Amino acid sequence: MIDEFTVEQFKSFGIFEDDGKDFLRNINKCQAELSDIQCWQQFSLELLTTNAPFKLHELVYKYIYKSRHNSNPGPVWCPTTLSVKKTNLYAFMQAHNFDDYRKFHRWSTKKYFVFWEKVIERLNICFKIPPVSFCELSKGIEQPNWLNCATLNIVESCFFKKKHV
């Protein structure tokens, strides 16, 4: 991690000196008012653009998370509530009456056979021969046999229009 961030570093990325000073002032203010995760979320979503070089993103990340040990790095992606609600996973959770990710995850691991049946249904996977079972565990949980006896041509599922279930 880095302990200091200078205007010269900003200039090396083609950022004007005054803009670099503003940027640095904003980082320091953000760090004084917010947690490191909230600060990174704000900067990565609002101030760092996709036009900025990756190296600049990396330096800002390292500076914001400078107090963390390497074995506990800060999250790189911090989705907003709105961006989470736009995901396919969230839509899938809502379709199965889950608002809480932890409860959903617990259900998906305890009732994995139902979960994967619903996922395959949602993805509208087309089988030439449907599975006899979604998960066969005769060799134990460590060696599952997924979609037992099924055959498919994945191209048909990916590129051909299907009837929705």
Would you say residue 74 lies in a domain?
A: no
164: pLDDT strictly greater than 60: no
Q: Do you know the residue count of the chain? A: 165
Cα distances from 3 to residues 14, 29, 58, in angstroms, run: 22, 16, 14
Same domain assignment for residues 51 and 87: no
pLDDT category at 5 given cuts 50, 70, 90 is confident
Same domain assignment for residues 39 and 14: yes
Q: What is the pLDDT of residues 72-83, one digit of tens each?
A: 889 998 888 898
Same domain assignment for residues 52 and 116: no
Q: What is the pLDDT of residues 23-57, one digit of tens each?
A: 888 888 888 999 999 999 888 887 787 788 888 88
58: pLDDT strictly greater than 60: yes
Mean pLDDT value of segment 105-132: 91
131 close to 109: Cβ distance less than 8 angstroms: no
pLDDT of residue 89: 94
Task: Count up the domains in the chain and report the number.
Answer: 2
Q: Which two tokens stand for residue 28?
A: 């320091």
Would you say residue 71 lies in a domain?
A: no
Would you say residue 45 lies in a domain?
A: yes
Same domain assignment for residues 12 and 47: yes
2: pLDDT strictly greater than 60: no
Same domain assignment for residues 90 and 40: no
pLDDT category at 163 given cuts 50, 70, 90 is low
CA distance 113 to 119: 10
pLDDT of residue 107: 97
Range of the domain at 145: 81-159
Would you say residue 139 lies in a domain?
A: yes
Would you say residue 76 lies in a domain?
A: no
Same domain assignment for residues 98 and 145: yes
Q: What is the pLDDT of residues 139-160, one digit of tens each?
A: 998 999 999 999 998 888 888 7
pLDDT of residue 108: 95
